[in-house]
Amino acid sequence: MKEGFYDLRSALDYLERKGELARVEGEVNWELELGTLTREVQRRKGPALRFGNIKDYNGEGARCRELATGIYGSMRRVALMLGFDDLQPNRAMIEHVLERNRTLIKPMIAKDGPVKQNVLTGRDINLYDFPVPKWHHLDGGRYIGTMACTVTKDPETNLTNVGLYRSMIVDQNRMSSLIVSSQGWGAHWAKYRAKGEPMPVAWVIGWDPVMEWVGGSPVPANVCEYEVMGGYRNAPVELVRCETVDLEVPASAEMVIEGSISPDPATFAPEGPFGEFTGYTAEIPTPRPVCKVSAIMHRDRPIFRGTLEGSLPGASGENSHMSAIQRAAIAWNILRTAGISGILDVYVHPVNNGTTVIVQIKKLYEGQPKQIAAALWGSNASTFRYKIVIVVDEDIDPSDYEAVDWAINYRVDPGSDDLVIFRGTLGSALDPSTPLENRRISELGAGLWNRLLIDATKTWRFPRRPEWNNEKFPPVGRNRPEDIEQVRRRWTDYGFTKWKVPF
């Protein structure tokens, strides 16, 4: 396992050595072409990409010439960025994440770092100096915050939060953002608004990918993400102080944008729509809080870090693969903390980003699936996830959609409480299947979801039957081991034509 931190450059070099990164040397337009190309690479299950010839940013005087994306775009790359040498089984990565999430190492403050090689203030600030793409053709603008980690502090406790939240360029020195009250910086924002004071904020763009991993996870509100990052790398995060706001950021980050967000609605500017993680375009242009940039720090020849959001069938991106492990691990931890026995595996298919979670159990009592759903839905980690909970028996592989579908079809009675709907709960405002009146963040504080449990386990309500070997369910028509062994011994004797497959 890796110990100590990458910076973005060493992480990209490592992926390249592992055959998981391609450099794009031909000219690519930042407007739509870069995002379109990224999606087509995803469809072909291709590598991470390092763009070095971006239209309008490939001249000698360009402040930033490169962009990196797709770092977490496959399960193998997730494993590599978590510190493994190669792809690992789902269970191994989940256990690793569970262990690292509870290993905390406090950060350290340094006097200087590479991110301070260039400091821009006043008229030198220009967000358009960086190759920020227009990722989707329906986006409301150029989204600078897609894999940018947002740093804020609680004005009462001084505890730092680091999270992943979307932000769009308004003009040279302003960015508009979607702020949701149930998220980390949303809680900070509510306190600053109550005080009538602007909220200091810093966006960290490009550092060790563990920052994006932890920033995208629902870390407990009383825990600083920098301490969790230290736990992942078995070393303290080295931070430097910002130039114009009272915040700390990684010393070897590629770039940091500093500023403050005013609570005055007169300063708000339109944000959206945006091609969100759901694969759908979210919302319409809406006046949202604006950060007025007071400084930009960046390394020499910085590399911009961004990602194409939106999981689609056959083309799931970084958020999808991160969520598959993150959200499964967090769900497992919730169930362990709740003291629910018999959990064998928790699986999230990347395409749904954790909106659906599948829990495999050794069934111990009839109400077990409902207890599982209640525990998950009662957690703040379910704000944007776990809308649908599917519980299956130990003979169903949760990673196999075909097996799960079989269980749903032949172990679920739709007229019974195998299907449970939990209405009007805290949920996602970005889900297009949710009625618009339940997505009014400005009025409701967050979205409202109706949630569904699918109990796809074999019911215990049936009587035992002697003709079924005294079981409640009929036996599955699997081959007996002794019959399989006979076929294995005679495999080459069968004389298959045009088919040569070893047993």
Sign of CA dihedral 336, 340, 346, 352: negative
Give the position of tokens 């825990």.
Answer: 223
Cβ proximity of 160 and 201 under 8 Å? no
**H helix runs in 102-157, sequence order:** none
pLDDT tens digits, one per residue of 390-448: 999 999 999 999 999 999 999 999 999 999 999 988 888 888 888 888 778 777 777 88
- Distance separating alpha carbons of residues 467 and 252, to the nearest angstrom: 69
- Distance separating alpha carbons of residues 216 and 164, to the nearest angstrom: 5
Burial environment of residue 258 by CB neighbours within 10 A (0 to 12, 13 to 18, 19 or more): buried
The residues that bridge with 151 in the sheet, in sequence order, are 162, 202
DSSP structural state of residue 132 = -
Q: Residue 284: left if φ>0, alpha if ψ -120 to 50, beta else—which one?
A: beta
432 to 141, 274, 277, 475: CA distances (angstroms) = 20, 13, 11, 41
Cis peptide before 89 (omega within 30 of 0): no
pLDDT tens digits, one per residue of 364-396: 999 999 999 999 999 988 888 999 999 999 999
Mean pLDDT of the chain: 94
- pLDDT above 80: residue 475: yes
Mean pLDDT of all residues in 188-209:
96
Per CATH, which fold does 318-456 belong to? UbiD C-terminal domain-like (3.40.1670)
- Distance separating alpha carbons of residues 483 and 495, to the nearest angstrom: 19
pLDDT tens digits, one per residue of 264-321: 999 999 999 998 888 888 888 999 999 999 999 999 999 999 999 988 888 889 999 9
- Distance separating alpha carbons of residues 313 and 42, to the nearest angstrom: 10
pLDDT at residue 497, rounded to an integer = 82
- What is the domain partition of the chain in residue ranges? 8-305, 318-456
Per CATH, which fold does 8-305 belong to? Pnp Oxidase; Chain A (2.30.110)
